[in-house]
Chains A and B, each alone.
Chain A
Amino acid sequence: GDSVTQMEGPVTLSEEAFLTINCTYTATGYPSLFWYVQYPGEGLQLLLKATKADDKGSNKGFEATYRKETTSFHLEKGSVQVSDSAVYFCALSAGSASKIIFGSGTRLSIRP
């Protein structure tokens, strides 16, 4: 069945460091791919998405490119800030919203 695998955390970085959070997926057909972010004590918020191969989603300095050949959707940011500390979820949707599958989440902590 469809699945999402993302790197285990926690990930701890210093402010202004480069960030990569890996995400790979298994799906039949052509899924849409998402990154959601969960700040402490809050629900998930959509960070970015991509709906077809080679699409690049971007928001708030974060980017991810839909790579069909490697079935990946890695999240990157060139210079992280303390305010980026949160849990990041990779997800895919294949068929309908009822079939959204989330990864297990990666906790990111940024040191000042």
Chain B
Amino acid sequence: NAGVTQTPKFQVLKTGQSMTLQCAQDMNHEYMSWYRQDPGMGLRLIHYSVGAGITDQGEVPNGYNVSRSTTEDFPLRLLSAAPSQTSVYFCASSYSPALADEQFFGPGTRLTVL
């Protein structure tokens, strides 16, 4: 199993550009989520999905869109990049949204917006 994979690993954008961060998992997990990690702030939830065709907003959804057309893939779209979106982005998955399920994280995408 590859686990949770993310591409690209690094990306530099100019303000106003759009792009999609890719996330895939091969563990047949129902639950997937996107977090951003900023210094001193831990991880904050952007969007999540409890299954194919179902998505919902997390704590900091503004400026981001997601879709879940298959169980395996959960891309994150930046509509019009802003410097405030400079961050490290992590995708995670778990077997279910149950309370105690372990979250499996991808290696992250480091995004810089100039």
Contact = CB atoms under 8 A, between A and B. Distances in A.
Given A94-B99, A97-B98, A104-B40, 7 more contacts: A32-B100, A43-B106, A43-B108, A46-B103, A96-B97, A97-B94, A98-B58
B31 A97 contact: yes
Interface of B: 4, 31, 33, 40-45, 48, 50, 56, 58, 90, 92, 94, 96-103, 105-108
Nearest to B90: A43
Contact of A102 (B31, B42, B56, B99): B42
A105 B56 contact: no
Contacts of B96: 97
Contacts of A96: 97-99
Given A97-B33, A104-B42, A43 B99 contact: no
A43 B107 contact: yes
A49 B41 contact: no
Contacts of A51: 99-100
Interface residues of A, number: 24
B45 A98 contact: yes
A43 B58 CA distance: 19
Specify the main secondary structure of chain A where it touches its partner. mixed
A98 B103 CA distance: 11
Contacts of A4: 42
Contacts of B106: 43
A89 B92 CA distance: 15
A3 to B, nearest CB: 10
B94 to A, nearest CB: 5
A69 interface: no
A98 B42 contact: no
Contacts of A79: none
A89 B107 contact: no
3 smallest CB-CB distances across A and B, nearest first, come from A43-B105, A102-B42, A32-B100
Contact of A49 (B43, B44, B92, B100): B100
A100 interface: yes
A44 B103 contact: yes
